[in-house]
Chain A
Amino acid sequence: MKLKVPLGITIILVLLQVADYYFKVPVINTAAANLTVAILVMSAIAVGIGIISLTRIHVRRIVGKRPHSLESAIMLITLAIFILVGAVLGSGDPSYVYMFQNIIVPLDSAMFSLAGFFMASAAYRAFRARSREALALLVAAVIVMLGQAPIGETFWSGFPVLSQWILDVPNTGGVRALIMGIAIGMLSLTIRMLMGHEKGYLGTGA
């Protein structure tokens, strides 16, 4: 019973969404639209669950005087300030917007900017020509980089053309094959779920 009820709900909701995509039947389309609203409500409730979980973990760390308690305290204080200001003054209030623009946005940008450095370090390791595949990767990457950078054209006018060919032909072909495989894989997963064989997400220990 514990397994059959969630499985039954999953099957009904999946079939409803599939029918909504393919058919123009007002009853189905309205039910699917209402379901989307229900999902939004559930997501909002889930944020509350997330905050409770986050608070529980960090409070335990502080109470247990475990390492990094100071960081936990800073996190909880920041969380409380944001919730208080947002709840009392509203998320459109200048104070909240100021905090958001001057704390969250720069931190987000700083974190994202790390991606550039990490891409370079990962590429350095990957492009060491230790195998034939790595050599092919290296050659293709060098050509594409030279083709995209202005300096490449000054070396040889063919770099941009060759670079574009690599992107348009082998790269696009490969990506399309990946996308087709992904779509078929997704379909296979859905059919397994609909037939009640894929139960890993229901807590049965896969």
Chain B
Amino acid sequence: MLGEVILLEFAKGVVHSFTLLVISSVVMIILLYASRKGKVPKIRKLAAIDAIDEAIGRATEMGRPLHFTPGIGDFYGYDAPMTIAGISVLGHVARRVAQYNTPLIVTFAAPEIEPVITDVVKQAYLAAGRPERFNPDGIRFISTRQFAYTAGVVGILHREKVAANLMIGYFAGESIIIAEAGFLAGAIQIGATANTYQIPFFVVACDHVLVSEELYAAGAYLSKDPVQLAAITGQDWVRLIVAAFLVAGCVLATFGISLIADFFKM
């Protein structure tokens, strides 16, 4: 293998996607480095994220548990970023409940995320200076089967009378069942997923919803880290670039010029 020259040959139909990836990455990296020099970006408030503290407060006042689920996702495939984003929010939630001594129940359907979830929660209790309050029985793998998991969560919501139900991660057909069970249990509910088929269910059933890319911004928003916030501003710049491509493509196509349309077929 040594001495062999590796020529990079593009896979079919990915040149446009790679170009956009490079442009987006460059924009975000520039903003990240700018933020390191003290330029802290301002981003709009996310009501659903701000409501997390309200949910924790409610559970604390009522002396009832807070339930958190990152959904049925795992660490590979389409659902991985949603699971990771959910776990990032869990770290913040766990730190807060540790401070207030609010019981925390975390449920999930993928056993491979259990060690990560346990570690994130344990570290959060440690960071809050309350490691003795960590309860490993609160971290519950239910089942790899979607509806067995759903049944387990519905049971927990009712039996343990949760005061707050946070569903932040990857959800599929179980979203409406869990959200309605949470409503019937009288819990304040926050839902967040990037699965476009499930967003409407959360919108109708939850008190607060993080829509679309807000899920991915949640971890950065909660961290208050200027570098991470810069990435969120980068998202908006990339969105503007994509919108510019769309408008330019429409205008050019109207005049019979297929330059941009051809680029997106490359």
Q: Do A and B come from one complex?
A: yes
Q: Which residue of chain B has its CB nearest to the CB of A39?
A: B76
Q: List, in ascending order, chain B residues with CB within 8 A of A205's CB.
A: 91-92, 94-95, 120, 123-124, 126-128
What's the least CB distance linking A64 to chain B, in Å?
10
B167 at the interface (CB under 8 A from A): no
Q: Which residue of chain B has its CB nearest to the CB of A185?
A: B213
B6 at the interface (CB under 8 A from A): yes
B112 at the interface (CB under 8 A from A): yes
Q: Which of A24, A118, A180 has the most CB of B within 10 A?
A: A118
The distance in angstroms between the C-alpha atoms of A197 and B220, with both chains bound, is 9
B100 at the interface (CB under 8 A from A): no
A204 pairs with B91, CB closer than 8 A: yes
A185 pairs with B139, CB closer than 8 A: no
Known: A46-B112, A47-B111, A188-B28. A121 touches B194 (CB 8 A): no
**Which of B32, B181, B212, B232 touches A178 (beta carbons < 8 Å)?**
B212
Q: List, in ascending order, chain A residues with CB within 8 A of B28's CB.
A: 187-188, 191
**Which of B120, B179, B183, B216 touches A188 (beta carbons < 8 Å)?**
B216
Q: List, in ascending order, chain B residues with CB within 8 A of A51's CB.
A: 111
Q: Which of B1-54 contact A (CB under 8 A)?
A: 1, 6-11, 14, 17-18, 21, 24-25, 28-29, 32
The distance in angstroms between the C-alpha atoms of A53 and B152, with both chains bound, is 15
B201 pairs with A197, CB closer than 8 A: no
Report how many A-B pairs have Cβ atoms within 8 Å: 223
Q: List, in ascending order, chain B residues with CB within 8 A of A206's CB.
A: 88-92, 95, 120, 124, 219, 222-223
A181 pairs with B213, CB closer than 8 A: yes
A195 pairs with B32, CB closer than 8 A: yes
The distance in angstroms between the C-alpha atoms of A192 and B89, with both chains bound, is 15
Segment with Cβ contacts to B, from A122-130, A145-153, A157-165: A122-130
A197 pairs with B32, CB closer than 8 A: yes
Q: Which residue of chain A has its CB nearest to the CB of B230?
A: A197
What's the least CB distance linking A167 to chain B, in Å?
13
A23 at the interface (CB under 8 A from B): yes
A85 at the interface (CB under 8 A from B): no
B234 at the interface (CB under 8 A from A): yes
The distance in angstroms between the C-alpha atoms of A186 and B193, with both chains bound, is 12
Query: Main SS of the interface on chain A?
Result: helix
Q: List, in ascending order, chain B residues with CB within 8 A of A181's CB.
A: 212-213, 239
B205 at the interface (CB under 8 A from A): yes
A22 at the interface (CB under 8 A from B): yes
B67 at the interface (CB under 8 A from A): no
A122 pairs with B180, CB closer than 8 A: yes
The distance in angstroms between the C-alpha atoms of A108 and B160, with both chains bound, is 23
B24 pairs with A203, CB closer than 8 A: no
Known: A23-B10, A108-B147, A203-B123. A197 touches B228 (CB 8 A): yes
Q: Which of A111, A178, A195, A203 has the most CB of B within 10 A?
A: A203
Q: List, in ascending order, chain B residues with CB within 8 A of A33's CB.
A: none
Segment with Cβ contacts to A, from B56-64, B79-87, B247-255, B256-264: B79-87
Q: List, in ascending order, chain A residues with CB within 8 A of B94's CB.
A: 205
B114 pairs with A49, CB closer than 8 A: yes
What's the least CB distance linking B58 to chain A, in Å?
20
A68 at the interface (CB under 8 A from B): yes
The distance in angstroms between the C-alpha atoms of A42 and B111, with both chains bound, is 10
Interface set of A (CB-CB < 8 Å, partner B): 18, 21-25, 27, 39, 42-43, 46-51, 53-54, 57, 60, 67-68, 104, 107-108, 111-112, 114-115, 118-119, 121-123, 125-126, 175, 178-182, 184-193, 195, 197-198, 200-206
Q: Which 8 A-B pairs have the closest CB atoms?
A: A50-B111, A185-B213, A200-B88, A206-B91, A185-B216, A46-B112, A126-B204, A111-B147
